[in-house]
């Protein structure tokens, strides 16, 4: 019943925004639809996620939140290790492996970022980024209900990324769900200040968020040095980066 209500709210929000959008960005052919989903997501964030994240930040001491964030980051580093290896990125793979080993053992299961203090850089990577590095184009921009900004490539990679999420390996369903919610709240709390800046600075929050997401993903694919972008087509595959060449982090 509750799921049905959420579905109705999603459809209503999308229909409200499905008016014709003049001067469409070629990277965003579904802009009218995307704006509807974006509006729905923003409403959910303002009504539920942001208030919970604000209370979380105020109630828990900074050192507790840091430990929680480190724990989830360590889990993410395991999947980053796999994807950096798939991209044949030797240094990034070695750094990711070192971070996981050091933080899991010396860092009490990842609660302490000992590897960071030792100078081991993070190199976040997921399967969407792996596809991009091997020449798969991003495709059109997509806004997913509750999940937010994406591209067709990153959306198609989601099932693989889900399999790589170690939280899904937790057998006890209530524990798994609680950890997933905690991860979402902790992540949102880390972006409270940035969100306030966007709200205050962006004349069009949707366009600002879309352009920032696409630019960030493009920089990640090309290690911060992307070629000139052909904005006349969102579907042309990128020139594959040289995976075997040591490169900096994907942050």
Domain boundaries, the chain: 27-221
Give the bridge partners for 223, in sequence order.
none
19 three-class SS: coil
According to the model, what pLDDT value does residue 228 have? 76
Cα Rg of the chain (Å, integer)? 19
According to the model, what pLDDT value does residue 211 have? 95
Q: What is the b/e burial string over 101-138, where b = at least 16 CB atoms within 10 angstroms of the residue's CB?
A: ebbbeebeebbbbbbbeeebebbbbbbbbbbbbbebbb
Dist CA 57 CA 50 (whole Å)? 10
According to the model, what pLDDT value does residue 23 have? 60
According to the model, what pLDDT value does residue 202 have? 65
pLDDT in tens, 13-35: 444 544 455 568 999 999 999 99
Q: 10 Å Cβ neighbour count for 202?
A: 14
According to the model, what pLDDT value does residue 238 have? 54
According to the model, what pLDDT value does residue 196 have? 79
Which residues of the chain carry a pLDDT beneath 50?
A: 2-4, 6-15, 17-19, 242-251
According to the model, what pLDDT value does residue 227 have? 83
Query: Which sign does the torsion angle of CA 46, 48, 51, 54 carry?
Result: negative
According to the model, what pLDDT value does residue 160 have? 98
């Amino acid at each position: 019943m509750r799921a049905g209500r959420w579905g109705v709210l999603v459809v209503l929000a999308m229909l409200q925004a499905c008016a014709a959008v003049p001067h469409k960005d070629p990277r965003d052919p579904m802009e009218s639809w995307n704006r509807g989903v974006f509006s729905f997501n923003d409403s959910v964030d303002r009504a539920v996620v942001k208030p919970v994240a604000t209370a979380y930040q105020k109630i828990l001491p900074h050192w507790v939140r840091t430990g929680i964030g480190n724990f989830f980051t360590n889990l993410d580093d395991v999947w980053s290790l796999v994807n950096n290896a798939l991209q044949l990125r030797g240094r990034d793979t070695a750094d990711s492996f070192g971070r996981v080993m050091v933080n899991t053992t010396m860092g009490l299961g990842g609660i302490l970022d000992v590897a960071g203090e030792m100078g081991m850089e993070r190199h976040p990577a997921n399967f969407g980024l792996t596809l991009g590095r091997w020449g798969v184009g991003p495709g059109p921009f997509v806004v997913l209900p509750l999940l937010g900004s994406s591209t067709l490539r990153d959306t198609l990679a989601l099932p693989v990324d889900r399999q790589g999420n170690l939280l899904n390996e937790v057998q006890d369903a209530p524990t798994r769900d609680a950890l997933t919610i905690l991860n979402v709240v902790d992540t949102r709390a880390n972006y409270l200040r940035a969100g306030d800046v966007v709200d205050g600075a962006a004349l069009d929050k949707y366009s600002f968020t879309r352009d920032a997401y696409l630019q960030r993903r493009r920089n990640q694919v090309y290690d911060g040095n992307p070629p000139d972008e052909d904005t006349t087509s969102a579907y042309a595959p990128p020139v594959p980066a040289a995976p075997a060449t040591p490169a900096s982090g994907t942050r």
